[in-house]
Amino acid sequence: MAKTALVVGGTGPTGPYIVNGLLQRGFEVAILHRGSHEVDEIPPEVEHIHTDPYDYDSLLLALSSRHFDLCIATYGRLRAIAEVMTSRCERFLSAGGGPAYRGYMNPALYGAGGMPVPVREDHTLVEEEAEDSKGWRIVRTERALFKEIPHATHFRYPYVYGRYQLVPREWLLVRRFRDGRRRIILPDGGLTLHSFGYAENIAHAILLAVDKPAVSRGKIYNVADATVLTLRQVTDIIAAHMGVEVQVINMPWELAVPAKPLVMQPQTSHRVQDVSALRHELGYSDKVAPHQALRDTVDWLLANPPLPGGTEEMVLEDPFDYAAEDRLIDAWLAACDTLPAWDGATEPGLGMAYSGPGGRARSQAEFAEPDATEQPDKEA
């Protein structure tokens, strides 16, 4: 008899990959969602249970006396789902979020440098609502989950990119380049590191936990792309894939107002989740390299562009005010032209240990290869 699985969600970014991965593992799969939209990637043999996954009574009514070998909850009100499913499934996997970490949404709690890099699963969590109300709620939900189902496996998601994402950061660049923009403002050199997770990679991690129940039971895992790209690297990859040459305008964060939606936090410090537990315990590695994942996401966005002023752009909070951006860029470049050159008696260097471009000159013009016929003296 085939094992049964319930996926709460199933039509979002990670859902189709999870559903199809379970089918490949021999599960009979049902997805529970509102039914407000369907996606072509879900095969016809998958059962659809349409109800409100945020409402406890609706879940009870829809599931009645059903029982599943496995439940994966990626959507809905997790506490309500856990209460309903505790007696209706053998294994329970769920998704939460990185904002559980103290400093994720409020990096100033750690000063100008923000959170440590990387952030492990045992990093301090949000314990006070006043510090971050969203993170505080996420932490309370995690604790309620494990109180209800101690053997659950829980994943702390980063921002997810790929198909069907409602917060498509990449659209901020794709739309500009599509609209002919060839100057892009990046704050502080665009060197901010921020963990993201391609939808297929996130689903791959969850399916690894399905495959290793003894290892993953009762655990919380960070999940994200193992390779973390800077904002500048993301920009360069997208521009190259779209075949455009872009002038990056480097501005201090305090002035780079149009870049706020790209940075997605109130300063340019790093938000990097440590996925070493995922790698060492479950054998995770990126199924799709982030460079390729970004290219695939760009192709999806070009073929399925968000509506101007629609839900995605409303969530991103970017007005795409190109005239205002040009005025700011022109003023910044003009101000830079007025700055005096360094006039100190000695120009600061990069340190004598540095040997790259602009570093200390070689002491010898040519490298003297050792004579192969000469044997080094051996000490007695």
**What proportion of the chain, given as a percentage, has pLDDT over 70?**
98
Helix (H) or strand (E) holding 165: none
Q: How confident is residue 375, by pLDDT bands cut at 50, 70 and 90?
A: low
Going by pLDDT thresholds of 50, 70 and 90, the confidence category of residue 377 is: low
State the pLDDT confidence band at 326, using cuts at 50, 70 and 90: very high
DSSP string, 34-58: --S---TTS-TTSEEEES-TT-HHH
Q: Is the CB of residue 298 less than 8 Å from the CB of residue 170? A: yes
Residues 94-136: tens digit of each pLDDT:
999 999 999 999 999 988 899 999 999 999 999 999 999 999 9
- Residue 144's SS3 state is helix
Task: Choose the weakest-confidence range: 66-75, 107-116, 249-258.
Answer: 107-116
* Sign of the dihedral defined by the CA atoms of residues 286, 288, 292, 293, in that order: negative
Classified by CATH at the fold level, domain 88-337 comes out as Rossmann fold (3.40.50)
Averaged over 325-348, what is the pLDDT?
96
What pLDDT score does 36 carry?
87
pLDDT tens digits along 334-343: 999 999 999 9
> What is the mean predicted confidence (pLDDT) over 198-214?
98
CA angle, residues 1, 215, 71, in degrees to nearest 5: 45
